[in-house]
Amino acid sequence: MSKWALVLVSVLSSLYLSNAYKILFISPLPGKSHSILGEGVLTHLSRAGHEVTYVAAIIPDKPIKGVTVIDISSYVSLPSDFLNLKAIMDNTHRRDLFGILPSLTNLTGNVINNGPVQALLSDKTQQFDVVIAEWMFNEVFAGFSAVFNCPLIWLSPSEPHWMILQLVDEIPNPSYNVDILSGNVPPLTFTQRVMELGSQIIGKLLKIYISGIDQEIYEKHFVPHIRNRGYPVPPYEELKYNGSLVLSNSHVSMGIATRLPPNFIPIGGYHIDSVVKPLPKDLQKIIDDAKHGFIYFSMGSNLRSKHLPAEVKQDLLNMFGELKQTVLWKFEEDLPNRPSNVHILKWAPQQSILAHEKCRLFITHGGLLSTTESIHFGVPTVGIPVFADQFVNVGRSVKKGYAKKVDLSYTMAKDLKVAIQEMINDSRYTTKIKELSFIYHHRTVTPGQELVHWVEHVIKTGGARHLRTHALTTPWYQKVYLDLAIVLLIIIIAVKYLFSYICCSNGKKVSVNNKKKQN
Ligand SMILES: *[C@@H]1O[C@H](CO)[C@@H](O)[C@H](O)[C@H]1NC(C)=O
């Protein structure tokens, strides 16, 4: 082929591919559910023909078309007892912000400061049209958008809450918007409102402290690359509020209706494939034989059931054995003395299981993915929340009327039995979740289409500046009109002085006049 033909081919192909964008996507958390969310994003962007560079703590099992993986799995890890069930039951691990934030800040630093990522940052041939970063209590990934001089999109794994909303809009009112780690569900009581205000204030102070550490990470590991590329170095405090959009793994059918700014796009459910995969043969057989339907029990993929204390395991087995229904228990180890209706699944195709019409009940830790899937497929739940947003997720499910909550404890088998029996014998729970499932599915476009549309929108409009509200840039003292209050105060004081001056000096004049008359 002649040189000109080659040029022609490359020009034509670049025209043809002109809608293909280059996207950098950071998925920092070495947790299975986060990798499921990450791979959902990859699937949709890849199907839309875009090229994605995926910085990931868990790499996809199979290669995905158009996706280049930067494997950081050997650099990032969470503390070993971070998600250990027994440690949580014995209360040896802090589940609040003070426990989570430092671990995550440490992790974020490791996501940036390692060979492969630093090589990507210093490689001047690498250019991106947009950076998508999973928000994990930390904004330092905004540095990627400064290095590549392109817009930034946050991917938020949970329902809207103040810490993420403040990045693109403003802090919502705590009297009806709860913290991500809270178990409260509006309408709030007096005490709950005070608690929520307290969480915001403490959280804000803690974030200010952590932000100092983030700024150091930014200066050290991003700024040299920004300079190297000859781009302006934005101050960290500006950069972290410069995200174009939040793609939020949430939907009003699962959460609580909240006012959202125009740059906050709920795409909850995008990780669920529209085609349900068939069940494996052995599982299909178990389910076919389940005359009274079946109950599915899974504590998610991060929480290892093997950390459950032995006596709790045995109580659970005994209790399940007393049920009519077949029980599918996702568990990583074989259990001896298993009743005949209880089946252990080391690996469970959760979506295909929940999609089955015989699935009567889902016992879950209440992670957002499981909560989403229960609504997607319309299966009522018993929630045993353990960690992070699971409390608020389960709290909402209970309030919505399709779930019951059981506390993780040494006596949970007993409580679980009561909950299971009540739910199996009362059709209201199923009716309720079918209603919500309808709301969930009744959207103008699928969440996957929404995702692709908004990523492209940000790129095509150079960062979607038109979606930013002035709530972000108006200082708080202006929002509460503190400046007006001060001006009024000054006027009142001034008027008061003026009056006392006028009346006093009048008084003097009067007395002078009087004196004159007397003379
Ligand atoms: C914020 O983002 C926009 C577009 O995405 C960009 O043009 C601008 O330079 C960024 N500002 C800062 C301070 O990073």
pLDDT for residue 8 is more than 90 = no
pLDDT, one tens digit per residue, over 65-91 is 999 999 999 999 876 666 666 666 666
Nearest CA owner, ligand 1 atom 14: 239
Confidence of residue 509 (pLDDT cuts 50, 70, 90): low
Ligand 1 center to 152 CA (angstroms): 9
Ligand 1 center to 216 CA (angstroms): 20
Same domain for 238 and 288, yes or no, is no
What pLDDT does 195 receive?
96
Residue 457 within any structural domain of the chain: yes
pLDDT, one tens digit per residue, over 327-336 is 999 998 888 8
CATH number for position 154: 3.40.50.2000
Is 356 in a helix, a strand, or coil? Answer: coil
Q: Does ligand 1 lie within 6 Å of residue 463's CB atom? A: yes
Give the HSE-up count for residue 266: Cα atoms under 13 Å, Cβ half-sphere: 22
Residue 165 within any structural domain of the chain: yes
Record the tokens describing residue 415, joined without a space.
């409580």
Same domain for 71 and 187, yes or no, is yes
Same domain for 182 and 234, yes or no, is yes
Cβ neighbourhood burial of 57 (10 Å; 0-12, 13-18, 19+): buried
CB 245 within 8 A of CB 454: yes
Q: Does ligand 1 lie within 6 Å of residue 244's CB atom? A: yes
Q: Mean of the per-residue pLDDT values for the chain? A: 91
Residue 285 within any structural domain of the chain: yes
What pLDDT does 321 receive?
96
Ligand 1 center to 465 CA (angstroms): 9
Residue 52 within any structural domain of the chain: yes
Residue 4 within any structural domain of the chain: no
Residue 517 within any structural domain of the chain: no
Record the tokens describing residue 433, joined without a space.
């979740």
> Which residues of 291-449 form beta strands (DSSP E)?
294-298, 326-330, 342-345, 359-364, 381-383, 403-405
Confidence of residue 295 (pLDDT cuts 50, 70, 90): very high
What pLDDT does 56 receive?
97
Query: How confident is the model over 134-158, as a mean pLDDT?
Result: 96
Confidence of residue 230 (pLDDT cuts 50, 70, 90): very high
Ligand 1 center to 149 CA (angstroms): 8
Same domain for 415 and 455, yes or no, is no
Confidence of residue 31 (pLDDT cuts 50, 70, 90): confident
Q: Does ligand 1 lie within 6 Å of residue 151's CB atom? A: yes
Confidence of residue 363 (pLDDT cuts 50, 70, 90): very high
> Which of 150, 223, 242 should be mutated for ligand 1, with most atoms under 8 A from CB?
242
Residue 350 within any structural domain of the chain: yes
Q: Does ligand 1 lie within 6 Å of residue 242's CB atom? A: yes
Same domain for 258 and 308, yes or no, is no
Record the tokens describing residue 195, joined without a space.
């608690």
Whole-angstrom Cα distance, residue 372 to residue 33?
12
Count of structural domains within the chain: 3
Same domain for 210 and 244, yes or no, is yes
Confidence of residue 3 (pLDDT cuts 50, 70, 90): low
Domain that residue 158 falls in: 20-272+446-467
Query: How confident is the model over 143-163, as a mean pLDDT?
Result: 96
Query: How confident is the model over 379-390, as a mean pLDDT?
Result: 90
Q: What is the DSSP string of 27-79?
A: E----HHHHHHHHHHHHHHHHTT-EEEEEESS--SS--TTEEEEE-TTT----
Q: Give the residue, 31 or 268, on which the prediction is more confident.
A: 268
Confidence of residue 368 (pLDDT cuts 50, 70, 90): confident
The residue among 17, 12, 16, 20 whose CA lies nearest residue 51 is: 20
Same domain for 297 and 421, yes or no, is yes
Give the HSE-up count for residue 128: Cα atoms under 13 Å, Cβ half-sphere: 28
Residue 474 within any structural domain of the chain: no
Ligand 1 center to 28 CA (angstroms): 23
Same domain for 386 and 409, yes or no, is yes
Same domain for 240 and 300, yes or no, is no
Nearest CA owner, ligand 1 atom 9: 149
| Cis amide bond preceding 339, omega within 30 | no
pLDDT for residue 308 is more than 90 = no
Same domain for 221 and 96, yes or no, is yes
The residue among 60, 56, 61 whose CA lies nearest residue 74 is: 56
Confidence of residue 307 (pLDDT cuts 50, 70, 90): confident
Percent of the chain with pLDDT over 90: 76
Query: How confident is the model over 82-108, as a mean pLDDT?
Result: 73
Out of 10-19, 283-292, 484-493, which region has the weakest mean confidence (pLDDT)? 10-19
Q: Does ligand 1 lie within 6 Å of residue 234's CB atom? A: yes
Query: How confident is the model over 400-406, as a mean pLDDT?
Result: 96
Query: How confident is the model over 465-479, as a mean pLDDT?
Result: 96
pLDDT for residue 93 is more than 60 = no
pLDDT for residue 22 is more than 70 = yes
Strand partners, 70: 55
Same domain for 432 and 311, yes or no, is yes
Residue type, 465: R
Q: Backbone phi, then psi, for 232, in 5-degree steps? A: -65, 145
Same domain for 89 and 230, yes or no, is yes
Query: How confident is the model over 11-25, as a mean pLDDT?
Result: 73
